[in-house]
Structure 1
Amino acid sequence: MRREDRHRPPEVDVIIDAHTHVWPDAIAEKALGANALPGLRALRDGKAGTLAADMRANGIDHSVALGVAGAAKHVDRTNEFVSSLDRDRFTPFGTVHVDQSVEANLASLRRHGIHGVKVHPLFQGFGLEDPRLWELLEAFGSEFPVITHVGAGGSGAVNSLSTPKMLRKIVRTFPQLRLVACHFGGYHMLEEAREELRDLPIVLETSWPPGLATVHPGTVREIIGRHGAERVVFGSDWPMADPAAEIAAIGALGLGDETEAALLGGNLSRVLRLPV
């Protein structure tokens, strides 16, 4: 077994991490400090080179690299950075901001060859019900898949910016939108997510920093079984969680070889149409 495959379950052909955050080396430390969340600390430095090394060490073949701009003036520079990453290792998901026009946001994504968009209300300061975001979602159609944070994680009013109920409205309003909901569709809001996202054609992602193992395995199995394992994908939320521990937590669920392989890579490859 190759060194980089020592954490790969033997029945899994490909592992794709749907949820990693990276910044340019020069600003990674500052960005992590500015985006700190109560009760959580980064385990790694947020640099693409460090992520690539962790991927090799943990048997991860590919990662979706997420860029997030907290202000409109940083959108194009953020998209330029994530687009520069090695496409053999990373699929870049860029950023948009409601404080600039739909046309400007789309132009930046297309200019840099960006495959999809990350929306993060906790850090970007606008909610999932913002009409300006809905204008963007309508413009995305099925062209740009969206990965969005859903749930709590900050403090005070920011926790009300992205709820499972809001996500339900988006799914119903934009049926063509390819949407991936982080943290099982409701970080620290699992009860609401159970009710609001029931039977919706949406993809759920598994990250739960500081680690999926902090959620009772029976709860995780119930969520996956009810929603449909074919619509659940693995994500670590690197650098906030250890990918090896997250892969192990999924393996410990006892879902069976075929389901585990689908969660760890097959499903995301299909949803995002990745040639991996």
Structure 2
Amino acid sequence: MIIDAHAHVWPDKIAELALGANRLPDLVARGDGTVGGLRADMDASGVSMSCCLGIANQARHVDRVNEFVADLKSPERYGFGTVHVELSAEENLASLRRHGIDAVKIHPLFQDFALDDPRLWEILEAFGDEIAVITHVGEGGSAHANTLSSPAMIRDIARQFPALRLMACHFGGYKILDDAEEMLAGADVVLETSWPPSLKTLRPERVRRLIQRHGAERVVFGSDWPMTSPTEEIAAIEALCLTDDETKQVLGGTMARLLGIDSPWA
């Protein structure tokens, strides 16, 4: 049972606009960002469930995004909601609970707050082990945006909040993999595999070594759709020459266990 930990969708009427506004430099989208487009790529790739990650760039949009994410929930889609530091921890939790959401995406590049912002830490403390968190880590934006997340910040969060179910996108350091390997390999944080435009741009032996050093039971597959092709990203994982058990854990078993999803691979 393949679970994609990292997919983005928007309402059909704004998907094109949202995708264009959020596109990172030098990346060309491979999908259209709609629910129908995601469903088609899931069918083509063999993905059984996609985690659909909502992001509110502004605090006033948090509840609306969470309402949309909640409506996405189905056996094929797991909704990850959003929070914002300009709302209190209580306000953020109230929105998540109101919509039945138990996981969130944080994206410093687009939300313009840092992973070491004290206001975010108040929210993470309020989460405890109730709300799972997946966050962008690393570069990919402006010079300012690139300072808002780092492997060191993820390491500090993991140490401060040991009960938090924390997942770090892009192996914990997009475009700064050396730092991520040094600071996070073996740390108590789950690493996610997406690396737009493709995981194939990294040396397979390096990725295999990182996964085996960190432990496949703490690594989850993510495509970052619609910026990549899930079919190609799954093929890149399968080409790493991991053991069969390690491959199954990465492609779905670890994520199923984290989210409490029934799976033969969990």
TM-score by length of 1: 0.93
Confirm or deny that 1:210 pairs with 2:171. no
Query: Would you say the 8 A contact 2:185–2:210 is kept in 1?
Result: no
Confirm or deny that 1:234 pairs with 2:221. yes
Matched to 2:59, the amino acid is: A
Q: Which runs of 5+ in 2 are unaligned?
A: none
Residue in structure 1 matching 2:77, options 78, 90, 94: 90
Cα distance, 1:24–1:116 mapped onto 2, change above 3 Å: same
Confirm or deny that 1:254 pairs with 2:238. no
Confirm or deny that 1:181 pairs with 2:168. yes
Deviation, 1:259, is: 1.2
Matched to 2:196, the amino acid is: P
Matched to 1:32, the amino acid is: L
1: CA distance between counterparts of 2:73 and 2:220? 22
Confirm or deny that 1:65 pairs with 2:32. no
Secondary structure at 1:57 match in 2: helix
- Determine what percentage of the aligned residue pairs are the same residue: 61
Query: Deviations along 1:193-240, whole A, 9 cap, x unmatched?
Result: 111113211110100000000001011011111111111110000000
1:2-81 equivalences in 2 (<5 Å): 14-81=1-68
Query: Would you say the 8 A contact 2:9–2:52 is kept in 1?
Result: yes
1: CA distance between counterparts of 2:186 and 2:242? 20
Deviation, 1:103, is: 1.3
Query: Which residue matches 1:193?
Result: 180
Residue in structure 1 matching 2:254, options 267, 270, 273: 267
TM-score by length of 2: 0.97
Confirm or deny that 1:127 pairs with 2:114. yes
Query: Would you say the 8 A contact 1:211–1:241 is kept in 2?
Result: yes
Query: Deviations along 1:39-82, whole A, 9 cap, x unmatched?
Result: 11211110111101111121110011100000001100100001
Query: Which residue matches 2:132?
Result: 145
Moved over 3 A (4+): none
Deviation, 1:256, is: 2.1
Query: Would you say the 8 A contact 2:30–2:229 is kept in 1?
Result: yes
1:100-111 equivalences in 2 (<5 Å): 100-111=87-98
2: CA distance between counterparts of 1:41 and 1:104? 36
Query: Would you say the 8 A contact 1:232–1:263 is kept in 2?
Result: yes
1: CA distance between counterparts of 2:25 and 2:142? 7
Secondary structure at 1:92 match in 2: strand
2: CA distance between counterparts of 1:41 and 1:124? 21
Q: CA RMSD in A?
A: 0.9
Query: Deviations along 1:134-167, whole A, 9 cap, x unmatched?
Result: 0000000000000000000112110010000111
1: CA distance between counterparts of 2:26 and 2:46? 29
Equivalent residue pairs, number? 263
1: CA distance between counterparts of 2:85 and 2:215? 33
Query: Would you say the 8 A contact 1:38–1:155 is kept in 2?
Result: no
Query: Would you say the 8 A contact 1:20–1:235 is kept in 2?
Result: yes
Matched to 1:187, the amino acid is: Y
Deviation, 1:86, is: 3.9
Secondary structure at 1:61 match in 2: strand
